[in-house]
Amino acid sequence: MSKNIVQKIIEAHIVEGTMKPGTTIGLQIDQTLTQDATGTMAYLQFEAMQKERVATELSVSYVDHNMLQDGYENADDHHYLQTVAKKFGIVFSRPGNGICHQVHLERFGVPGKTLLGSDSHTPTGGGLGMLAIGAGGIDVAAAMAGYPFYCTMPKVVKVELTGALKPYVSAKDVILELLRLKTTKGNVGKIFEYCGTGLESLSVPERATITNMGAELGVTTSVFPSDSVTKTFLKAQKREKVWSVLEADEDAEYYEEITIDLSKIVPSVALPHSPDNVSHVKDLEGIKVDQVCIGSCTNGSLKDILTVAKILKGKKVPSHVSLIVAAGSRQVLEMAMRAGAIADLVASGARIAESMCGFCIGVGQSPGTNAVSVRTGNRNFLNRSGTKSAKVYLSSPETAAACALYGELKDPRKLGKTSPKITLPQTFTIDDSMIDIPTESDNEATIFRGPNIGNPPHLQPMKNAITGKVLLKVGDKITTDHIMPAGKRLKYRSNIAKYSEFVFEPIDPKFHEKAKKEKGGIIVAGLSYGQGSSREHAALCPRYLGVSMVIAKSFERIHRANLINFGIVPATFKMVRDYGQLEEGDIIKLNAVKTCISAGHASVEVNGEGSFEVEFDLSDREIALLKAGGLLNYLKEQV
């Protein structure tokens, strides 16, 4: 039977279930990655599983988020991560080595392998032909312990790329166009698989830009074939031996097909405050720009940095523009320096930031009050930049460079008829000296634990009934940034008791106090609840505060899984109109919860008089997790 790329990889890794779309499957995971913001809790959970070494082919711990080290907490967490990696056989990428997705693409990714990462932009690896999926930290911990990763067998969408990009149009504009067409909602349970004659002109880093920001579509992941372009990239990284051909069979079937003519793509931007709020740059010209930030895991490749440097060479940015440039990895930074690109950027007025997530996650470089910031990152949610009144636009490096030069939104095609010609070297600079490789003798290493590090909270099994107040009612497209803010709060990720004080801080700063007073309660939400980051703390901290159920119009994949992993029941309205009848302060009661979640539906009592119907679309395993009080309890029961 003919198969597409996704089916081929899944067939080689499936250990439970069948490849029927919509059903639950268990996948063997070859590689994992974590970053420091999510990794600390993931490794604490791995320790709780009482394994002597990781069971994967490769697990890598990256430090790329909490890099400003404001206070002792970040440095202590990094020390913990380094020592726990040494003890359990985990590769450790030290602070300054680069952003996890960029470095993994360069140094560790392998076509045809499965990669599970505790970061929602793990699908970046799909640009290399990997089945790379973002998940909560506890799912990654379980994979490191040797357990399968469970997900829904996806519906595979074929995205055929034809033609070639025109001058000053880039891969970022391609994914922005897809976000305009498909939006951030309604794509749960799908994987986008790319093919077509247009692939020949897209390098692996350009493909990775598309798969990286494919996370904003809400799909499980995105994947490109492994072809001669892939081989060229791996050869330049001196890793040609891991290359293999991976492509769909000629008559492979797909759930849906989309065709994108690259020659018709034009420079675009995502307007505040959503990645799918996309317009063409030419229709927005003239809006004053106060800040431009270039870099991130989406657009921090060598080609991106060299392109911007060539555009800016010999020119100066206006005095009112703050220009920040951050290479995606130390490899990119060093090669750009040796090529003279960093000197050209500095001469133009750019400020050079460390190779880290930084401005993309609101760690540093917050814009001024009411400022307009043009960024090459992947998310522009309200307040994610650290300034609630700021307006963040997402763009390609070419568009960002044009905006920096003109001091306003500007179509980069105004810069000339031909794009800067970038010739990448056949061999990249290889220096893995900031990557610690563990040895067998390291399993006697002592793990360092600072005062900010606490054990994962012990969660009680499911009770017979759920009763509580509606603590908060929110609208559509609530992100994990809304639920569990990052930025200056990131340093508390290893301290759940402290971090829980900031649950829903951007929406309701008093939520923590209300939850403690009521000893828990219910959340009511609209469509696409839990967009954005994979941060499991957006489920773990509410559960720590006693939240027992979230009733929403719909959920995003990773957050829904995280809710279940920590014993919070995800329910959906049977009749969407019932959402409008609920208000904050209403008393909710659901009897015989265990029976109801097994039946798949229930009648929920409101204020002791009325009621409404909810549904539970849960697999047998998910039901077992909820009854146990979460994944960690469930695994202990299995042992």
Q: What is the SS3 assignment for 445-485?
A: CCCCCCCCCCCCCCCCCCCCCEEEEEEEECCCCCEHHHHCC
Q: CA–CA separation, 497 vs 454, rounded Å?
A: 9
Contact status, residue 224 vs residue 201, Cβ threshold 8 Å: no
- Residue 487, pLDDT score: 81
Q: CA–CA separation, 428 vs 222, rounded Å?
A: 26
Burial class for 160, CB neighbours closer than 10 Å (0-12, 13-18, 19+): middle
Q: What is the SS3 assignment for 200-250?
A: HHCCHHHHHHHHHHHHHHCCCEEECCECHHHHHHHHHCCCHHHCCCECCCC
Domains in the chain (CATH in brackets) are 5-264 (3.30.499.10), 277-415 (3.30.499.10), 466-638 (3.20.19.10)
Angle among Cα 147, 117, 7 to the nearest 5 degrees reads: 70
In a 3-state reduction of DSSP, which class is residue 360?
A: helix
Q: Which residues sit opposite 162 in a β-bridge?
A: 261
Q: Which residues of 549-571 are buried (b: 16+ CB within 10 A; e: fewer)?
A: bbbbbbbbbbbbbbbbbbbbbbb
Q: CA–CA separation, 297 vs 213, rounded Å?
A: 9
Burial class for 89, CB neighbours closer than 10 Å (0-12, 13-18, 19+): buried
Question: Residue 602: which residues within 8 A CB-CB, separation 6 or more?
Answer: 571, 590, 593, 596, 613, 614, 616
Give kind and range of the element (H or E) at residue 33: strand 31-35
C-beta pairs of 279-288 under 8 Å, 24+ apart in sequence: 280/411, 281/395, 281/399, 281/409, 281/410, 281/411, 281/412, 282/411, 282/413, 284/409, 285/408, 285/409, 285/410, 285/411, 286/408, 286/409, 287/372, 287/408, 287/409, 288/320, 288/372, 288/407, 288/408
* Tokens linked to 79: 């020390």
Look up residue 503 and give its amino acid.
V
* Tokens linked to 68: 């400003």
Residues shown for the chain: 639
DSSP string, 571-638: EEESSGGGGGG--TT-EEEE-SHHHHHHHTEEEEEETTTEEEEEE----HHHHHHHHHTSHHHHHHHH
Low-confidence ranges of the chain (pLDDT < 50): none
Q: CA–CA separation, 43 vs 35, rounded Å?
A: 11
- Residue 302, pLDDT score: 97
CA atoms within 13 A on the CB side of 300: 37
* Tokens linked to 499: 């971090």
CA atoms within 13 A on the CB side of 381: 25
Q: What is the SS3 assignment for 44-113?
A: HHHHHCCCCCCCCCEEEEECCCCCCCCCHHHHHHHHHHHHHHHHHCCEEECCCCECHHHHHHHHCCCCCC
Contact status, residue 267 vs residue 413, Cβ threshold 8 Å: yes
Angle among Cα 582, 588, 594 to the nearest 5 degrees reads: 125
Q: Identify the CA nearest to 498 among candidates 508, 138, 488, 36.
A: 488
* Edge-to-edge order in the sheet of strand 24-27: 14-16, 24-27, 149-152
Burial class for 421, CB neighbours closer than 10 Å (0-12, 13-18, 19+): exposed
Q: CA–CA separation, 25 vs 490, rounded Å?
A: 33
Question: Residue 510: which residues within 8 A CB-CB, separation 6 or more?
Answer: none
Under DSSP, the state recorded for 120 is: T
pTM: 0.94
- Residue 376, pLDDT score: 98
Q: Identify the CA nearest to 33 among candidates 96, 105, 86.
A: 105
